[in-house]
Amino acid sequence: MSESFTEALGRRVLLCDGAMGTLARASGGLVEGHGAELCVIAPELVSALHERYLAAGADVLQTHTFAASRPRLERHGLARRVREINLAGARLAAGVRDTAGRPAWVAGSVSPATPPGLAVPVEEARAAIAIREQVEALVEGGVDLVVLETFSRAGELLAAIRAVQEVTDLPVVAQATFVDEDGDLLTAAGESPADVVARLVDAGAVAVGTNCTLGPQGLLDVVRRMGPTGGPALSAQPNAGLPHVVADRSVRFAGDAEHFARYVLRYVEAGARLVGGCCGTTPEHTAAAARALTTHDAWSPPAAPRHERVVPAPRAEPDPAPAPDEEIDEPGPGRGAVERWLRGRPASREFLIAAEVAGAGGPDEHLARARRAVSGGASVLWVSRSRARRATTSTTGLAVHLHDRVDVDTALTVTSWQTSLLALQADLLGLHALGVRTLVCETGNPPVHAEQAVGDGVWEVDGLELMRLAADLNHGVDADGQELGTATAFRLGARITPGADDLEHEAARAVAKVEAGAEFLVTRPVFEVDRLRTVLDALTAAGRRVPVLASVGALTGYAQAEHLRHEVPDIVVPDTVVEPMRRAGDGPDAARTGLSLAAELVAEAAALVEGVVVRWPGSAVPGLDPTTAVTRLRAAADGSDGARVRR
C-alpha cells in the first residue's frame, strides 16, 4: 500500500465501517458465548460482513474482536483462545482489504479489559498484559492500526494507549464513550469530553474521539466539546439511535441511514477526520455516509480554523428548590382523582390531566416542579422510569416522596426489565404499603449502555406478565398462586405504542393487556392521532375499550424534533410538526411553537381519549415551565384555547 493510514488521515476524511456485532446477530450469526468466536466458527460470515462494508464505501474495516481480551473471554470459557480468535479476526479483515482494489485499512478493535458490570476496573497491570496479548495477535494478523473503543474512563484509555505502544508502533485511535445526563455529557467516571482530551492529547494517539452509547445527534455535542484538540485528529462513531425491545424480545436500534449521513457531515464540519458507525449501524448507513461525503466534497480537511474552539452552550440551571414553607399557588384536587376518573361513566368522565415529573436534581427540585404542575391544574403526578445509567433519584423513592408531600395522586411506571419475578412482587407489595396505588406496568427498554446494548439484563417476565402479577395481587394471590391473606388495591394501567412499526400486533397487545387486568392505558409520546385512532378502534371492536391517557409534550426546538423522528424508536413525528419546528429553529421562541403544536394535538385528541400526561423538559426552558405547560394543555382540552370542546 503506497499510503499509510496516518498519511491518509492527514490528507482527507476517512470513513470507518459500522457495527459488526449487531449486524452479525441480525445476519444469523448467533453464538452462546462471546460474539468474537464467530471469527473461528463462522469465518465466511465475518468476511462477508467486511465485504459488505467495503462495497458500501468504507475506508477502514474494524476487526470483529471487540472485547476479545483474556479477562473478557475467560467469562465464556475462551481464555485459552485469545490469540486464535484475534489472529483469525485480523486475517479475515486483512483478506478483504487486500482484494479491495483501492486504498483501505484494517483497524484492530480493542475494548476495555474490564468486563461490563464490574464497579472497579481490572487492576491496571493485568489490563495492560491483556491488551498487549490481544494487540500482539492483531498485529501478527496484519492490522494497519489499533482502535481502542468504548472506554468509559480516561485513565483506563490512557493506560491502554501505553500498553499498545509497548507492542507496536502502529497508529492508535483512542475513543471514549459518554452518556447524556440531563445536558451533561460525561463518562462513567464523571469526566467531560474536554477532560478526556486533556488527558489524551499528548499520549501519542493519531486520533482521539468518541463512539457508542449516544446516537448521531448526541454524539455531535461530544465532538464539538472535544475539539479542536491542538494535536490528534478527532474521530466520531455514533450508534444508530436508541435501542428498544421488539416483539420477539430481541433488541433493535432506531435511526435511519440518511439521518446518520447528515450527522456524519456535521462531525466533519466540527473537525472530525475519522467518522463511522457503532451499534445498530449497517452497510446501508455506511453507503449513505459515503454518498453524503462525496456529494458535499467533505473528503478534504474542514475549512474552519483549527484554533477556534467550539464552546458548548451553557447548561440550563435546574429549577430552584422550594423554600421550606412554600405553598402551592392553587390548591390541588386532593387524593382520589384516578379513582373518580375510573369509576365515572364514559359520557360524563372528567378529562384527566397528569403531569410528568422528570429531569435532573434531587427531591427538592422535583418537589418544586410537582407543585408548579399542580398549580397549573394537574390532578395526578406521573413518575416514569429513567434510561440513565448514572446514579440518580430512584423513581420509586421519588414517587413515595411526592405522595407524602403533595396532596394529589401519584402514578408510577413499573418496568420488568432487569428485575426478577420475585423482586417485582416484593416491589409491588412495598409500594402498596407506602401508599402508591396507581401503577403502569410495562416491559421497559434497555438502558443506554456502552457495551451491552443487546441482551442486557435479567428479563424473567415482560410487561404483560407483570400486569398479571399485579392483578393477581389485587385478588390476594401471590406469584406462586398462594393466598396472601389480604389483597392489594392498585389501579392498574399499561403502556401502548401507537408509533410501533407493526400496528396490528400493537393493537392485539393492547387488547391482551386489558384482558390481563389493565383498567386504563397510557401511550408513549404522540405527535399525531391517526395511529392512536387505529389502536382505539381495535380495542372497541374487541369490546376492551378502557380509558386512555395520551402522552403529550411540547418540543423545545428543531433539534429535538429531528432527534425524536430519526433516533427514538416507536415515535412518529409527522411533517406537520417537523416543518413548524424547523422554521422555529432552536432559539428561545422555539418552545412556544412546540407548546402551540402540543395544544393543537390535545384539542384534536380530546375527542378520542380521556386524558393526557403532560411531559416537559426537566431543565428550565424559556416559556416552558410546568405551570405554563399544564395550564395551556388543560385549556386546549377544555376548548378554551381556541380548540373544539371534547363533548
Please give the Cα distance from 210 to 175 (Å, whole number).
Answer: 4
How is residue 176 written as a grid cell?
471514549
Secondary structure in 3-state letters for 549-581: EEEEECCCCHHHHHHHHHHCCCCCCCHHHHHHH
What Cα–Cα distance (Å) separates residue 84 from each residue in 78, 136, 137, 140, 563? 10, 11, 8, 11, 42
What Cα–Cα distance (Å) separates residue 610 from each residue in 324, 355, 498, 559? 36, 15, 16, 31
Are residues 236 and 275 in contact, defined by beta-carbon separation less than 8 angstroms?
yes
The torsion angles phi and psi of 151, rounded to 5 degrees, stand at -85, 135
Indicate the DSSP class of residue 36.
Answer: G
Are residues 543 and 593 in contact, defined by beta-carbon separation less than 8 angstroms?
no
Please give the Cα distance from 476 to 474 (Å, whole number).
Answer: 5
Helix (H) or strand (E) holding 222: helix 216-226
Torsion 425-426-427-433 (CA) sign: positive
279 assigned binding-site residue: yes
* Residue 127 CB neighbours (<10 A): 21
- Measured at the CA of 385, the angle between CA 384 and CA 388, to 5 degrees, comes to 130
The torsion angles phi and psi of 345, rounded to 5 degrees, stand at -70, 145
* Cα distance from N-terminal residue to C-terminal residue, the chain: 74
**What residues contact residue 604 under an 8 Å CB cut-off, 6+ apart?**
529, 643
39 assigned binding-site residue: no
Please give the Cα distance from 616 to 619 (Å, whole number).
Answer: 9
Please give the Cα distance from 493 to 66 (Å, whole number).
Answer: 41
B/e letters for 31-47, b = 16+ CB within 10 Å, e = fewer, are eeebbbbbbbebbebbb
Please give the Cα distance from 265 to 272 (Å, whole number).
Answer: 9
Secondary structure in 3-state letters for 414-471: EECCCECHHHHHHHHHHHHHHCCCEEEEECCCCCCCCCCCCCCCCECCCHHHHHHHHH
Q: Under DSSP, is residue 163 helix (H, G, I), strand (E, B) or coil?
A: helix
Q: Strands, E, within 532-645: which ranges? A: 548-553, 611-615
Please give the Cα distance from 569 to 241 (Å, whole number).
Answer: 8
B/e letters for 328-364, b = 16+ CB within 10 Å, e = fewer, are beeebbebebbeebbeeeeeebebbbbbbbbbbbeeb
- Of 624, 626, 622, the C-alpha closest to 613 is 626
Q: Under DSSP, is residue 226 helix (H, G, I), strand (E, B) or coil?
A: helix
Are residues 491 and 462 in contact, defined by beta-carbon separation less than 8 angstroms?
no
**What residues contact residue 73 under an 8 Å CB cut-off, 6+ apart?**
34, 36, 67, 79, 81, 82, 85
Are residues 165 and 197 in contact, defined by beta-carbon separation less than 8 angstroms?
no
B/e letters for 508-547, b = 16+ CB within 10 Å, e = fewer, are ebbbbbbebbbbbbbbbbbbbbebbeebbebbeeeebbbb
212 assigned binding-site residue: yes
Name the binding residues for Zn(2+): 212, 278-279
Name the binding residues: 212, 278-279
